[in-house]
Structure 1
């Protein structure tokens, strides 16, 4: 997409999302975190639970910008597949890396699912669907994924037991994660980026595709349409919550609708002020969004190293830095923890700015 034809609000939204992803993943200590920066224990959602679906949503928008006029041929399929495999590979590397020779964990301790792996899988299937079907067919596929997932989770017996949406062995998503991944999951009994919940996460990207199509269209009052769609999705999501609880770990169908609703509302507002009114703001997020995956990967990789490197005996480099610089008698521990995260965010935003100014855009 040519720079003069870029939709500024999409760049700002992407950058804002990646900044929040880095922030919520990097508190000074997980023992002291303000509630809005934590995930919901199970059902329900917090502001933090919006961040990952927002990123998948904007992945869907970006698919429209990248592939709307691409030929459906072997070359396009190859590019989609290579990018998906790169994302999955980076995610597997993060899960397997350790600082001790031979620099990879024992096979049985490697987590297979993960954030980058899910982004790669969702990008692959959403892109393939987009280049092969029109928007009406995609609406049908999206509805099929969400309704089918609800029916599968809520009505199909699990190992001879009645299904449940709770964190239990007779939860279909949890059951399949244990069955397929075993010790390669985030938790012993489930994975928040698990196998079955990948299906509705594809629907999240499809909803982003519909928004991308609106933004690329010539219709007037796009911001009002996005905001109206957003409120409609919120209503559907909250009604669905009565039957299929809002739950990030399960990526429930109600969760998909509610998070896409908020994404449309926020993006619609940003679009109105930045693209319609021409008010210049949020450039700091635009810089970060230009190399979003790279900044996310670096933040995850460096934080992992800081947690593994030991100083003063068994104290990690991260813990030493946090306790030495950020823990002060006049600050609440939650505030110290947040300041540590904000410091990291500032560093990666600065790095994003430098890359942007030097016109270095690393495509993964």
Structure 2
């Protein structure tokens, strides 16, 4: 597209590269410190990665559908893409090497990253097509405040609700009732059903940013910096009564992560689109095939973990043979393995881009 904004592509590519790095350490027993998730409340840089991607999904929706009408053809296109994303996620959760290559039904996890991306993309796109920006703000407020009230004030089996990992955590309770054993863990799922509601707002806030970037406003970078700062303030104030928490995707978490996303995107926009400074080209390549790279990295990583090499997996054998040394900490070895994986997919992204291969999911 001739009006494509370079900073958006770079931001998307940076996010997908970080997603791959976070998801493919050499060993989960020794993850490099900054690449760890928060234990429960609070957040680390790693906890910003997934909400950043949902945020940029919203921004991209503006570019894809700003000139589209709410027709049956448009709805069909949105629905098909959402179902593809959900289907790919379910495939990752169900695949196994043993014939018929599908896990036992009881062992399949239904929620997941790609599933959440598909659901969020679907609802955010439909809302964008049918509502103006003022109405979208109203929807965002209702979802965030409503989620807070549900999580904080609806009792679970007659017991006062909690934001901790416990049976009377409403989000976990609903996931257990709906999905049964098909969850990430017995006491929580980071891509659970109820927490999908505020995750839609992560994408809606990205839509507002997309509207700013495509508007005729001057000093867009300053506006985005201000918006990011405002979101951070709201998020940190909300944290006092609804703790910042990725696993629950709390309303405060939505605001804080959208705040950081706006600040970082504003900086990239100022440098690349305003000052015309050339950098981050490799991230632009990765952003052009973001979902494909994420799916391949997840699938191949899963394969390497399933293929046996003696008493360990092919993944374990590669890690122990190539990366583990006495002169290096296990955490550093784990990081180097992840960086190698990232380098491979960046190279793949470069080749696909040069050959003009853009695989749309």
TM-score normalised to structure 1 length:
0.99
Aligned to 1:98: 96
Equivalent residue of 1:5, what SS? Answer: coil
SS in 1 for 2:139: helix
- Of 279, 290, 309 in structure 1, the residue corresponding to residue 277 of structure 2 is 279
Q: How many residues align?
A: 361
How far has the Cα of 1:159 moved from its partner?
1.1
Per the TM alignment, residue 17 of structure 1 is displaced from its structure 2 partner at its CA by: 0.1
Which residue does 1:49 correspond to in 2?
47
2:339 alignment partner in structure 1: 342
- Which stretches in structure 2 are left out of the alignment for 5+ residues? none
Q: Provide the C-alpha distance between the structure 1 equivalents of 2:242 and 2:223, rounded to a whole number of angstroms.
A: 27
Residue 106 of structure 1 and its aligned partner are, at CA, apart by 0.3
Aligned-residue CA RMSD in angstroms?
Answer: 0.5
User: How far apart are residue 67 of structure 1 and its match?
Assistant: 0.4
Partners of 2:69 and 2:147 lie apart in 1 by 32
C-alpha distance in structure 2 between counterparts of 1:279 and 1:6, whole Å = 16
Superimposed CA distance per residue, residues 47-91 of structure 1 (whole angstroms, 9 cap, x where no aligned partner): 000000000000000000000110110000000000000000000
Q: Report 1:1-364 matches (<5 A).
A: 2=1, 4-312=2-310, 314-364=311-361
| TM-superposition CA deviations, 1:130-189 (whole Å, max 9, x none) | 000000000000000000000000011111100110110101001101111111000012
Report runs of 4+ in structure 1 exceeding 3 Å deviation.
none
Shift of 1:36: 1.4
TM-score w.r.t. the length of structure 2 is: 0.99
Q: Measure the CA separation in 2 of the matches of 1:19 and 1:236.
A: 29
Task: Give the Å deviation of 1:34.
Answer: 2.1
Q: Which runs of 5+ in 1 are unaligned?
A: none
Q: Distance in 1 between matches of 2:167 and 2:22?
A: 29
> Is the contact between residue 177 and residue 189 of structure 1 (CA under 8 Å) also seen in structure 2?
no
Partner SS, residue 127 of structure 2: helix
